[in-house]
């Protein structure tokens, strides 16, 4: 067998083990054995043993460098994927991220018969905040709304800033009682923010809702359109939910 023979230190001085042809065979064997190693640590140990038998220290160094490179590449790719799905200002999902996660939850709900609640939310009087206090303060208002949504919703819910002052939340497993409880918590959280000393303006929002249990054949766009239509009906009716 190849490995026990190489581990015999008395063989390391033989000229044939130093020839380029044999080194190529050795490296090829090492790569093949690494591919079937049961754990990365076993693969690393195998390379070290092989290298020690024939004095191939560079093989160990290159292997370790490759491991570091692969780890860095995986971290960079994960960060790029996260950035592509995340709103830079608020840290919530962006429109692309929301669609990906919400579509996944919708498929699960259809298979399991679960209920979904779609909420579309607009920050009220956002333009006057920008006009009077500047865009930096407008950004601060958006990040405050995002913080309120994080504190109000559950980890299983999908929260996103779709753009501008438009937010969306897909609430998983929400019955009628859950909907009422979530809206109550949301308005209480806004009221607490508005009760902080030194505030220059109040945060308030208009919300529209739609439910999967009312239309089992609805897709994500249907749920968004229905919730958005409910939101604008509330705006036209003047039912602004001021905290």
pLDDT tens track for 142-168: 999 999 999 999 889 999 999 999 999
133 pLDDT higher than 90: yes
What is the pLDDT at residue 43?
A: 58
List the one residue out of 213, 118, 220 whose CA is nearest residue 169.
118
**Residues 6+ positions from 86 with CB-CB distance below 8 Å:** 92, 93, 94, 97
Q: How far apart are CA 81 and CA 2, in angstroms?
A: 43
Question: Phi/psi of residue 120, each to 5°?
Answer: -110, 130
- What confidence tens digit (pLDDT) does each residue in 38-81 have? 455 655 665 565 555 555 566 666 667 777 767 777 776 655 56
Active site residues: 165
Asked if residue 56 lies in contact with residue 46, where contact means CB atoms within 8 angstroms, the answer is no
Q: How far apart are CA 51 and CA 3, in angstroms?
A: 11
What is the pLDDT at residue 223?
A: 93
Question: Is 0.85 surpassed by the pTM of this model?
Answer: no
The structural domains of the chain, ordered by start, are 2-83 (no CATH), 95-242 (3.30.70.270)
The residue among 69 and 12 whose pLDDT is bigger is 69
Q: How far apart are CA 175 and CA 229, in angstroms?
A: 21
């Amino acid at each position: 067998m190849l490995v026990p023979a190489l581990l015999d230190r008395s063989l390391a001085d033989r000229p044939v083990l130093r020839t380029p042809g044999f080194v190529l065979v050795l490296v090829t064997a090492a790569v093949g054995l690494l591919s079937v190693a049961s754990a990365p640590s076993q693969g690393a140990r195998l390379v070290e043993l092989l290298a020690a038998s024939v004095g191939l220290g560079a093989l160990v160094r290159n292997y370790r460098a490759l491991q570091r490179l692969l780890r860095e590449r995986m971290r960079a790719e994960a960060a790029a994927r996260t950035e592509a799905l995340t709103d830079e200002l608020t840290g919530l999902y962006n429109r692309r991220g929301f669609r990906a996660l919400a579509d996944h939850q919708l498929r699960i709900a259809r298979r399991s018969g679960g209920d979904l609640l779609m909420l579309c939310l607009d920050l009220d009087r956002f333009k006057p905040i920008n006009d009077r206090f500047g865009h930096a303060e407008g950004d601060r208002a958006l990040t405050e709304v995002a913080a309120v949504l994080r504190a109000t919703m559950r980890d299983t819910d999908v929260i996103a800033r779709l753009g501008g002052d438009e937010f969306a939340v897909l609430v998983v497993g929400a019955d009628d009682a859950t909907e009422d409880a979530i809206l109550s918590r949301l308005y209480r959280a806004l009221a607490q923010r508005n009760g902080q000393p030194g505030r220059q303006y109040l945060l308030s929002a208009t919300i529209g809702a739609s439910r999967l249990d009312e239309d089992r054949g609805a897709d994500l766009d249907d749920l968004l359109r229905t919730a958005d239509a409910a939101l604008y009906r509330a705006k036209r009716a003047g039912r602004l939910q001021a905290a």
